[in-house]
Structure 1
Amino acid sequence: MASSDPDKLMLKADKQTKLSLTRWSADWRSATALYEQAAIAYRLAKNYEKAKEAFEKASKGQEMLSSPWDAAKHMESAGSLAKELRNWSEVADFYRRASELYIECGRSQPASDALTKGARVLEEVVPEEAIKLYTDACAILEEDGKEQMAFDLYRAATSVYIKLEKFTDAAATLLRWGLAADKCNATNSQCK
């Protein structure tokens, strides 16, 4: 696999997804496998831009194959590569998309974790976006009745607000945390 030329793999995969007179339906199964191989080869060659693109296409392929879990994993890989490239807006977008795909699977914890990964990456460089990701992660867990799993996220969002000197927003987040702790009878966490 490492000896395979990733550019050729990408071209071959692209051909598998294009319709023509002789091909009436796209072969997403083989194209996705080729995209995955190309992504790994690009990443090993430290060509992060092309690896990111290959992971995006592999994610689309997994979606077409009705496998949102694998699609989400590929989106997370694309997000980590966007971090390497310091493309902060893409980092947020990829982790958000990964979260949506996990929710499509009915898995709130991995969805929240994906948003949290993105938020941690963005805390220092784009703190406003990090706060949005933390807040969305908390909301996902709250909707699923897993408030106790969101306590660290509330704490992280509060610390970012404090760094930005947005004390009223920090207080509001602490109140949300208190309400969540109350819902799950975690009085010890309320007192912290």
Structure 2
Amino acid sequence: MSQAEAQTLLDQAEKHLNNKTMLFKKSPEYDKAADCFQKAAQIFRSPTVKAFDKAISALERAAQAHASNGVHFSAATALENAGNILRDSKEPAKAADMYKRAMELYQRCNNVEKACDSLLKAAKAVADVDVDRAIGLYLEAIELLVSEERHIFVGDTWRNCLALMIRNARLDDAVKLLERMFPIFEKLEQPEYLRKAQLSVVVIKLTQSDVGAAGQACDAYGDFALSAEGGAARELIEAFEAGDADKVKAVASEQTFTLLENQVARLAGKLRDICLSQEEDLTGARG
């Protein structure tokens, strides 16, 4: 395989796009053109050629041909493949743009799962370089699934989003996400996930040294106060209020907390130090 072979395929694709009938009326052969563009892309991206920019261009042309032919799924797949090349070429922003274009085409053919998958790929592509954009893409994926009554598929999406938020100290956003998940867990009849999410809010509020808000959350979540998680939350808050750092550590080390989402469990593991720091600040203020 060589660039010359790929160029021949591109030339053939153009001929198919400019095909004319016996009466010289233009009659594009979009399916044949798309096939040529995709074969050219395969050559351009092959280990022996590695002309990645040309591969991306060929895939975009293939997507255009497929879309013109009304085959939006194949058009989306071509753009998704172009996004993969950009991702592997360490161009995350451009990769995310390409995945977003693929998502829009998947939506046009009512393939919600593939549309969501493209959004997740876009979010992961930019997670290390543009946190705000990544969070926005994750949230868009969640809302897409919810709007299409695909609540059952939200799991990995909200977890990845929550982890990203906490890793980047976007704790207020994390609380909003968790509270957004409450009605979804209720709809899915997953009370154990609901209680864990409610407890996670308490942990985050305490991480922010906002004991009052943590207590208000406990009171606002109805039956949560009657659950094991609610009891653990109240015990933790009382230890915080008493400035008892050792008790905070003991409570936060219980399985109720260690079984929370990883990033939240790590926050719980740091609560003793936060309690100590808070108590030192109060002692200093009294002095």
TM-score norm. by structure 2 comes to 0.62
- In 1, are the aligned partners of 2:96 and 2:121 still within 8 Å (CA)? no
- Among residues 91, 112, 116, which one is paired with 2:116 in the alignment? 112
Q: Structure 2 matches for 1:1-192, cutoff 5 A?
A: 2=1, 5-18=5-18, 22=24, 24-44=26-46, 45-192=49-196
Q: Distance in 1 between matches of 2:26 and 2:108?
A: 28
Contact 1:92 1:129 in 2 (8 A): no
Q: Per-residue deviation at 1:12?
A: 2.6
Deviation digits for residues 124-148 of structure 1 (CA, Å, limit 9, x no counterpart):
2222221121111111100111112
> What SS is found at the alignment partner of 2:165?
helix
RMSD: 1.9
What residue ranges of structure 1 are gaps of 5+ in the alignment? none
* Overall identity of the aligned pairs, in %: 27
- Quote the offset at 1:16 in angstroms: 2.9
Q: Does structure 2 conserve the Cα–Cα contact (< 8 Å) formed by 1:115 and 1:133?
A: yes
Deviations 1:55-74 (A, max 9, x none): 11111111111111111111
Match of 2:132, as an amino acid? E
3-state SS, counterpart of residue 191 of structure 1: helix
Structure 2: which 5+ runs fail to align? Answer: 197-287
**What's the secondary structure of 2:45's corresponding residue?**
helix
* 2:16–2:30 contact (8 Å) kept in structure 1: yes
What number of residue pairs does the alignment pair up?
Answer: 191
| Contact 2:93-2:126 within 8 A present in 1 as well | no
Larger Rg: 2
| CA–CA distance in structure 2, aligned partners of residues 14 and 131 of structure 1 | 40
1:27 alignment partner AA: E
Structure with higher RCO (Cα < 8 A, 6+ apart): 1
Aligned equivalents of 1:113 and 1:174: distance in 2? 21
- Alpha-carbon distance, 1:25 to partner: 2.8
Q: Which runs of 4+ in 1 moved over 6 A?
A: none
Query: Does the Cα contact within 8 Å between 1:29 and 1:61 map onto a contact in 2?
Result: yes
Whole-angstrom distance in 2 between the partners of 1:46 and 1:23: 38
1:11 is matched by which residue type in structure 2?
Answer: D
TM-score, with length taken from structure 1: 0.91
Conserved in 1, the CA contact under 8 Å of 2:93 and 2:125?
Answer: no
**How big is the shift at 1:23?**
5.7
